[in-house]
Amino acid sequence: MRARIPVLLLCGSLALAATGCTVGGSADSGAGSGSGAKKTLVVAEWTNPSAIEATKKINAIFEKEHPGVTVKLENAPTAAGAWGTLTNSLLSAKSVDVLAQFAPTPAKFPPADTGLKSSGSAALITAGQITDLSGQDFMKSYDPVLQKYGAGYNGGIYGVVAAEYIGHGAVWYKKDLLDKYGVKVPTTYTEFVAALKKFKDAGKTPIFVAGKDGLQGIVYGGAVQQLLMKGQTGADSTAVSDQRAKDFWAGTKSWNDPLYKEAATKYTDVMQYIEPAASGVAQLTAPGVWAAKSDDFPFFLDGSWDGNTIKEANPDLKFGFFVMPATDDAANNRIPVKADLTWMVPTWAPNKDLAMDWLRTFSRPENYKLWLDATGSTSTQPGVTSSTLPWMDWLNEHSDERFVALTDPWIPAGAPPEAAGPDLTKMTPFGKQSVDDALKGAATAYQKSVGKK
């Protein structure tokens, strides 16, 4: 579902302003099957070919069940600001009924005492522009913990988190290459490094990565997630995120703490095994290049959303997915899952009742499974899995070990990029900064941004 991810895998919400989107418009009272009225329901979703096609199929089901209703699917790529432009246009014109947004999560709702303002879809929610869906019957189909985390605010739930993906620690692998060299999917950090060394000694380049777009951050970000959650239960992830944010804001924790040094050191160790020209590899083309080279690059750093892209590039390739283990205790090497595409309904939606009906249709298990199979998302509905995708076998087998990915500390608007963590393009091996200097620089940038230094 994603077009790209920054260095720390923090796919932020679109920069939508709440201004100019005052509550208004008329709800569609009496729309639905059998109403006889000709209506157009507008659904907006960013461009992902597989997801768009799946949504079109669900739209066709909806239209059949609602005579006289046409679903108009608006879409634009996330690249070059196209999706933001389309979204702002639809919001300004009040011409959208169901709008896809990235899950805001608690990180987008900083406490009032920080002085920070909500951004993206969170700003729309706090301004009263998005409908609370917590009382809708279709919400019972979804994992309540994830829905509250992904789109919850002040006791309400302001969207349906339909997709979740793994970015932190995400690794694809070629099954035939692992079998040929007697390598099993590693369950500990030591096993992972040993596998990398074994392939390198055999004359293979162990890891392919789109270094041009910062996907090497998958390793560092994954290590940070697992180290922060070490000894915690999956249910503790929200509390861990919240406490980290408070500690950073108070200045008692920062990017140069021992935990981040351990993660950065493991990152630099793994980076010894990447494609030498990785800094010139773009995310847009990386899945296809990796898939085409079936006799090299046993591992590929890329989010779980790219399974269909890999398959289309090389239909004969046997490949799988796992999350890089960052510790030597297999029990601590769990899966950070990030809430992603979230369907929202503006309070002023022209066809609000129809929008609820559409979400009800989308949420039916058979329709939601259709969408999962097309997108490669992990399921947000308990009991519904994407069983037809062979690369989901590891994820389905380890689904009980996942936790909601930790969000970053609160970062003031206008803060330098390093305030969000070390700039991996400047840190060795992509840059000249040492691990210590990069972490110190990040800590200083954060502290300055919150007025602690």
Q: Which residue segments constitute the domains of the chain, with CATH numbers given?
A: 39-163+340-377 (3.40.190.10), 170-337 (3.40.190.10)
Contact between 453 and 447 under an 8 Å Cβ cutoff? The reply is: yes
C-alpha Rg value of the chain to the nearest Å: 22
Q: What was the pLDDT predicted at 19?
A: 30
Phi, psi of 322 (to 5 degrees): -150, 170
Q: What was the pLDDT predicted at 387?
A: 66
Q: What was the pLDDT predicted at 145?
A: 87
pLDDT higher than 90, residue 284: no
Cα–Cα dist 13/126, whole Å: 14
Query: What one-letter code names the amino acid at 99?
Result: L
Q: What is the mean pLDDT of the chain?
A: 89
Cα–Cα dist 183/123, whole Å: 48
Model confidence pLDDT, tens digit, residues 45-71: 998 888 999 999 999 999 999 999 999
Q: What was the pLDDT predicted at 332?
A: 93
Range from 18-32, 96-110, 186-200, 289-303 carrying the lowest mean pLDDT: 18-32
Q: What was the pLDDT predicted at 16?
A: 34
Q: What was the pLDDT predicted at 224?
A: 98
pLDDT higher than 80, residue 8: no
Give the closest residue to 128 by CA, choosing from 149, 153, 106.
153
| Helix boundaries (H) for 229-271 | 237-250, 258-270
pLDDT higher than 70, residue 32: no
Cα–Cα dist 92/101, whole Å: 16
Name the pLDDT band for 160 (thresholds 50, 70, 90): very high
> What's the pTM value of the predicted model, to 2 decimals?
0.83
pLDDT higher than 80, residue 36: no
Name the pLDDT band for 374 (thresholds 50, 70, 90): confident
